[in-house]
Amino acid sequence: MAKLFGTDGPRGIAVTDLTCELAMQTGRAAASVLAKKGGKTRILVGKDTRRSSDALEAAVCAGICSVGADAELLGIVPTPAVAHLIGAHEADGGIMISGSHNSAEFNGLKIFCGKGHKVMEEAEDEIERLVLYAPQEMKPCSNENMGRMIHSEKTAAAEYIEHVKNAADTDLSGFRIAVDCANGCAAFTARKIFNALGAKTYVMFDKPDGTNINRDCGSTHIQHLMEFVVKNRCDCGLAFDGDADRCIAVDEKGALLDGDRQLAIFARSMKEQGLLDKDTAVITAMSSLGLRKYAAANGIKLVSSGAGARYVLERMLEGGYKLGGEPNGHIIFLGDSGTGDGQLAGARLMSIMKRSGLKLSQLSEDIPAYPQVKLNVKISPHFKELWKNEKSVTELIESFEKELGEDGRIMVRESGKEPIVRIMAEGSDFGRINDMAVEIAQHIKEKCSAGE
């Protein structure tokens, strides 16, 4: 069966894979599924700085309006701005047009429900069914019921900036920070947010041209920021991805703090203040061994979800937890946002520095660090799911897991959409875990490759 959604909405090469026709149908289906009973349905639409976002925005809005819903345009805003403004504007849902951390030729659609959360599996399945298998069920509305396009581009970013300032609730006077905007949405918000909080802000990669989003910058290319922080004696650096729902931090020594290390700092601080509900944070199966050991040593409980921000959120909602995140820098503060918010995470991290009087390197120094090796193996589509039944593969993985014991782990999982097996090995001995990952990858390739 064909799939429209991966771990975070439809995504692909813009106009080629994620076509304007597909975007229009997705807008039409999302508006139909999120439609309110009685009254006019209103869907907010935000976008990132990719050149393709304008065309996809037009297509999405055409789909929304064609089934009688209004499309409210927010312009270029971070993904968490869409999530926040759904509630602030009493909308019925939202669509963010963004390829996230990917390069400019990719784009995607992130769909939110009326609560400001990513749509859950039931709604996702229905949108997918309508688009792929039952487009005839989405009847165009009559002319008199046609939806309208409402323009809120002039105020949306400012509303979001005010929200982050209020949620951060801190004075960062005296701090020097460097901010990498990834030539994405944060280019329109980050300087204003951190300057308003009182910090001396040095902004990098804040000149998007439609083609340079995430290019050698942002949360997946951190080297420039690491060097800048040290050279300019900054207290910390913050790197966002294209739609600013991720944050990767850099301490004053130029060392990287991924999402796991930040989550450890947030969890301990919130627990000390009595703000960590049930003393629990939500992580994924890919979260590091160092985070797990640190949590155990500090009386913090961890609950695991599937890989992907949507699954972290689902687990948080199910258990009534307020903090969750992923190694890639998605951090969710559920009381303040229904999705990851990179700029809020950065401000909260600095707030902890301010309150504790500690440098960022000191806040993270007792979090154990274990090397990780990650490899991807392309398999034949025929072997999707079936590779798990290959006895020689499972026995090899089990033998390595037994060898590592409590001092390491092996994770092998299949990609949500592509015929790819992802391998992660973690442990104290980098050379050994690298050998393990390579051997598993080679074995899967031999048994399950496209040539089989």
pLDDT in tens, 356-386: 999 999 999 999 988 888 898 887 776 666 6
The 3-state secondary structure of the chain, one letter per residue: CCCCCCCCCCEEEECCCECHHHHHHHHHHHHHHHCCCCCCCEEEEEECCCCHHHHHHHHHHHHHHHCCCEEEEEEECCHHHHHHHHHHCCCCEEEEECCCCCCCCEEEEEEEECCCCECCHHHHHHHHHHHHCCHHHCCCCCHHHCCCEEECCCCHHHHHHHHHHHHHCCCCCCCEEEEECCCCHHHHCHHHHHHHCCCEEEEECCCCCCCCCCCCCHHHCCHHHHHHHHHCCCCEEEEECCCCCCEEEEECCCCEECHHHHHHHHHHHHHHCCCCHHHEEEEECCCCHHHHHHHHHCCCEEEEECCCHHHHHHHHHHHCCCEEECCCCCEEECCCCCCCCHHHHHHHHHHHHHHHCCCHHHHHCCCCCCCEEEEEEECCHHHCCHHHHCHHHHHHHHHHHHHHHHHEEEEEEECCCCCEEEEEEEECCHHHHHHHHHHHHHHHHHHHCCCC
* Residue 347 domain-assigned (yes or no): yes
pLDDT in tens, 405-426: 888 889 888 776 667 888 889 9
- Find the CATH number of the domain harbouring 31: 3.40.120.10
* Residue 3 domain-assigned (yes or no): no
Q: Name, in order, each residue with C-beta under 8 angstroms of 95's C-beta and a sequence gap of 6 or more.
A: 26, 27, 30, 43, 44, 45, 46, 60, 64, 82, 109, 110, 111, 112
How far is Cα 431 from Cα 371, in angstroms, rounded to an integer? 10
* Residue 304 domain-assigned (yes or no): yes
**Could you give phi then psi for residue 190, rounded to 5 degrees?**
-60, -50
Tell me the pairing of strands 149-151 and 70-76: parallel
Q: Quick one: 23 and 128 in the same domain?
A: yes
Q: Quick one: 359 and 377 in the same domain?
A: no
Tokens found for residue 115: 């609560």
Q: Quick one: 101 and 26 in the same domain?
A: yes
pLDDT at 452: 43
* Residue 161 domain-assigned (yes or no): no
* Residue 251 domain-assigned (yes or no): yes
CA neighbours within 13 Å on the CB side: how many for 315?
21
Q: Quick one: 396 and 289 in the same domain?
A: no
* Residue 164 domain-assigned (yes or no): no
Q: Quick one: 59 and 16 in the same domain?
A: yes
Q: Quick one: 358 and 378 in the same domain?
A: no
* Residue 376 domain-assigned (yes or no): yes
Q: Quick one: 92 and 186 in the same domain?
A: no
Q: Quick one: 285 and 407 in the same domain?
A: no
Q: Per the structure, how many domains does the chain have?
A: 3
User: What distance lies between CA 186 and its chain's CA centroid?
Assistant: 14
Active-site amino acid positions: 100
Q: Quick one: 357 and 376 in the same domain?
A: no
pLDDT at 408: 87
Last residue of a domain, one of 315, 332, 364: 364
Q: Quick one: 63 and 142 in the same domain?
A: yes
Last residue of a domain, one of 347, 364, 381: 364
pLDDT at 253: 97
Instruction: Give me the tens of pLDDT residue by residue for the chain, a chain 452 residues long.
Output: 457 776 677 889 999 999 999 999 999 999 999 997 778 999 999 999 999 999 999 999 999 999 999 999 999 999 999 999 999 999 999 999 999 999 999 999 999 999 999 998 899 999 999 999 999 999 889 888 999 999 999 999 999 999 999 999 999 999 999 999 999 999 999 999 999 999 999 999 999 999 999 999 999 999 999 999 999 999 999 999 999 999 999 999 999 999 999 999 999 999 999 999 999 999 998 888 999 999 999 999 999 988 788 889 999 999 999 999 999 999 999 989 989 999 999 999 999 999 999 999 999 999 998 888 889 888 777 666 666 777 888 888 899 989 888 888 898 887 766 678 888 899 888 999 999 999 998 888 887 765 54
Q: Quick one: 196 and 323 in the same domain?
A: yes
What is the span of the domain harbouring residue 295?
A: 175-364
How far is Cα 337 from Cα 115, in angstroms, rounded to an integer? 10
Last residue of a domain, one of 338, 364, 390: 364
pLDDT at 411: 86
Neighbours of 139 (CB within 10 A): 11
Q: Quick one: 228 and 141 in the same domain?
A: no
- Find the CATH number of the domain harbouring 400: 3.30.310.50
Instruction: Give the residue among 48, 97, 357, 449 at the shortest CA–CA distance from 218.
Output: 48
Beta partners for 119? none
How far is Cα 412 from Cα 153, in angstroms, rounded to an integer? 44
pLDDT at 450: 52
* Residue 5 domain-assigned (yes or no): no
